[in-house]
Amino acid sequence: MLKFTEHTGIVVPLDISNIDTDIIIPKQFLQKINKIGFGKYLFHDWRYLDSNQLKKNNQFILNKKVYENASILLTKSNFGCGSSREHAVWSLLDYGFKIIIASSFSDIFYNNSFNNKLLLITLQEKVIDFLFDIVKKNLGISFCVNLINSKIIVNKNSFSFELDDSRRFCLLNDLDNIDLTMKFLKEIEIYESKIPDFLLKRREFSSKIV
């Protein structure tokens, strides 16, 4: 189990709004259904100048040496818009990102992220702009994100963030939706044991006529 309580990591600033899932991971790399190995395709079209990933784009911020081990992404509004591909979250996690901070996220990307235990933090735009100023003036700076008290600590500054209690509980206890359901296995079994026989027989009958 890997309970998320606190994380300190280098912050990479990606000062762009409306980054869609096709930018996060292009469609040609969506050929696998497991979650492993997508990190090398993250931001492929921005990180590389050719389709075979032989020529790095040295102008792209993720290719800067100071951000080699970045684990926190600071970006702008509507991150993760576009298609619903869950691979976008898998690629961010596989690359090494633990936390994304932005002023807003697309709804589907938001749900996909928490289902995969990627922490998204939403802050007001003026706070995001302030954090960008700090990061740009202090290359390679680290943020400390504490999920227990819902605070981001940067140097001597502290920024509070809000998170739904259910999502917070799951991250603090390393639970996904299936894990959460299985915590109620005993109650589910008791409920199922009380289902009247005639309903069970009707279910069997329905399965035979399909």
Question: What pLDDT score was predicted for residue 209?
Answer: 53
- Neighbouring-strand partners of residue 157: 154
The whole-angstrom separation of Cα 62 and Cα 196 is 59
pLDDT at residue number 59:
96
CA-based nearest residue to 80, from 52, 33, 42, 51:
42
Q: Is 83 helix (H, G, I), strand (E, B) or coil?
A: coil
Tell me, what's the pLDDT at 196?
Answer: 80
Q: Quick one: tokens of 40?
A: 């090398």
Question: How far from chain centre, in Å, is Cα 34?
Answer: 16
pTM: 0.87
Helix (H, G, I), strand (E, B) or coil at 57: coil
- Strand 142-146 with 6-14, pairing: antiparallel
Chain centroid offset of residue 91 CA:
9
Give the helix ranges, DSSP H, for 101-172.
107-115, 125-137, 165-172
Low-confidence residues in the chain, pLDDT < 50: 210
Which residue matches tokens 């690629």? 91
Whose tokens are 């590389």? That residue is 48
H or E stretch covering 75: strand 72-75
> Coil, helix or strand for 86?
coil
pLDDT score of 198: 72
pLDDT digits 0-9 by tens, 152-199: 999 889 999 999 999 999 999 998 888 888 888 999 888 888 888 777
